[in-house]
């Protein structure tokens, strides 16, 4: 349906002109309406929504805006580890350092470490990614309630990369960072939403930055100087996507859930350590001891015909990990398992 809308828009007069860098009004309204319908968050489409060229674009411009607004003499951003590699590149590009806390299912531990770092380093910003890539960990409303207290105490700006926000495996959407913005922190938080994974349109490069009117205004200003926005027909089709019922995304998510459960179960049989996944479209797994001896784990897998993202890309302590992308049908995942098994089998008691 949304592809049909794209083709229809392409053939309309005026569809190939420059667009607004912050996105057409209808798309900004569609983002606000979906946030209200799915996450229970009310937003002003005029002042709290900016269309972006995907989530990475949103994160880059949001952090750039925050650094400019905060005028901090400490160019450090707090981020969880394992750390999605793109965040490291963003930090390098902006000339800031990263201070890390461990991503774990223990929310109290994460909050305590974030608070300790925010106090000791006096960093201006915290970059979150929940539901998380690569671990699939999601967080509760209680986590954001606790974070709100830290934000107020430490004057901390927060960006959440919410790419997998609608892709939680229990058929309920994740809790939005913005859901607790009524607790006196609305001008300190923004969220980067993407259509790429939820609607299976990664090549469209369309997303939205939502939340703090101060940050959104600064991002809109920055974007007006560096791009002319998303291709207009893509924006029109994105409106149709955002107006669809949740069942559309739920069906896509169920496919990833089946793949995740299958691959996890099979890797566990081979002696791998694989945390249970709550959301997203990848699997974070640690290989058995001694499985890779002559090459790196990723190289050994590649020689077996399996392409993965090396754990070391997410941090120096994750050499025994790889990230499997769940982007192939289950029949191909069965072949993946067969090839992984050729690397050696560990007996599991």
Encode pLDDT of 217-244 as tens digits: 999 998 888 888 888 889 998 999 999 8
User: Residue 81: helix, strand or coil by DSSP?
Assistant: strand
Q: Is the pLDDT of residue 289 over 90?
A: no
* Residue with the two structure tokens 């229809």: 8
Mean predicted confidence (pLDDT) in 257-280: 94
Q: Alpha-carbon distance 122 to 76, whole Å?
A: 8
**Phi, psi for residue 24 in degrees, rounded to 5:** -70, 155
Q: Alpha-carbon distance 15 to 20, whole Å?
A: 12
Q: Is the pLDDT of residue 73 over 70?
A: no
- Would you tell me how many other CB atoms lie within 10 Å of the CB of residue 289? 10
Q: Is the pLDDT of residue 295 over 50?
A: yes
Q: Length of the chain, please?
A: 349
pLDDT value for 181: 65
pLDDT value for 348: 37
User: Residue 328: helix, strand or coil by DSSP?
Assistant: coil
Tens digit of pLDDT for each residue in 133-167? 999 999 999 999 999 999 999 999 999 999 999 99
Alpha-helical (H) ranges within the chain are 2-10, 25-34, 55-70, 85-94, 107-121, 141-154, 213-226, 232-242, 246-269, 297-303, 330-341
Adjacency order of strands within the sheet including 321-325: 282-286, 321-325, 309-310
- Would you tell me how many other CB atoms lie within 10 Å of the CB of residue 21? 21
Helix (H) or strand (E) holding 317: none
DSSP-derived letter for residue 168 is B
Q: Alpha-carbon distance 209 to 190, whole Å?
A: 7
CATH of segment(s) 2-244:
3.40.640.10
Q: Alpha-carbon distance 67 to 162, whole Å?
A: 20
For domain 247-340, the CATH class is alpha beta
Q: Alpha-carbon distance 273 to 314, whole Å?
A: 17
Are 282 and 134 contacting, i.e. CB atoms less than 8 angstroms apart?
yes
With CA atoms as reference, report the closest residue to 219 among 64, 67, 340: 64
**349 falls in which pLDDT band (50, 70, 90)?**
very low
Percent of the chain with pLDDT over 70: 95
**347 falls in which pLDDT band (50, 70, 90)?**
very low
Q: Is the pLDDT of residue 346 over 50?
A: no
Which residues make up the CATH 3.90.1150.10 domain(s) of the chain? Answer: 247-340
**Phi, psi for residue 336 in degrees, rounded to 5:** -55, -50
Which residues make up the CATH 3.40.640.10 domain(s) of the chain? Answer: 2-244
Q: Is the pLDDT of residue 267 over 70?
A: yes
Q: DSSP of 264-284, one letter per residue?
A: HHHHHHTT-B-PPP-BSSEEE
**344 falls in which pLDDT band (50, 70, 90)?**
low
Q: Alpha-carbon distance 73 to 122, whole Å?
A: 9
Mean predicted confidence (pLDDT) in 197-217: 92
């Amino acid at each position: 349906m949304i592809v049909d809308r794209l083709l229809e828009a392409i053939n309309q007069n005026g569809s190939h002109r420059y667009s607004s860098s912050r996105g057409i009004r209808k798309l900004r309204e569609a983002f606000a309406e979906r946030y209200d319908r799915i996450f229970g968050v009310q937003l002003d489409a005029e002042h709290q929504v900016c269309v972006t060229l995907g989530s990475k674009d949103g994160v880059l411009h949001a952090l750039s805006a925050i650094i400019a607004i905060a005028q901090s003499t400490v160019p450090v951003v707090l981020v969880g580890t394992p750390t999605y590699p793109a965040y490291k590149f963003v930090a390098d590009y902006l000339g800031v350092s990263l201070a890390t806390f461990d991503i774990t299912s223990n929310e109290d531990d994460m909050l305590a470490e974030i608070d300790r770092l925010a106090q000791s380093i006096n960093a201006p910003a915290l970059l979150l990614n929940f539901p998380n890539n690569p671990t699939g960990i999601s967080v509760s409303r209680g986590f954001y309630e606790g974070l709100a207290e830290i934000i107020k105490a430490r004057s901390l700006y927060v960006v959440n990369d919410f790419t997998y926000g609608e892709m939680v495996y229990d058929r309920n959407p994740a809790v939005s960072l913005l859901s607790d913005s009524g607790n006196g922190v609305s001008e300190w938080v923004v969220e980067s939403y993407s259509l790429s994974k939820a609607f299976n349109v990664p090549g469209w490069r369309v997303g939205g930055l939502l939340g703090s009117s101060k940050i959104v205004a600064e991002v809109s200003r920055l974007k007006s100087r560096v791009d002319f926005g998303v291709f207009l027909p893509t924006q029109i089709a994105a409106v149709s996507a955002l107006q669809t019922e949740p069942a559309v995304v739920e069906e896509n998510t169920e496919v990833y859930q089946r793949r995740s459960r299958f691959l996890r179960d099979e890797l566990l049989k081979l002696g791998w350590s694989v945390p249970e996944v709550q959301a997203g479209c990848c699997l974070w797994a640690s290989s058995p001891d001694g499985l890779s001896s002559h090459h790196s784990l990723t190289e050994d897998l590649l020689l077996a015909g399996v392409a993965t993202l090396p754990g070391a890309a997410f941090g120096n302590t994750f050499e025994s990990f790889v990230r499997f992308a769940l982007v192939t049908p289950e029949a191909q995942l069965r072949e993946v398992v067969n090839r992984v098994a050729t690397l050696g089998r560990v007996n599991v008691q």
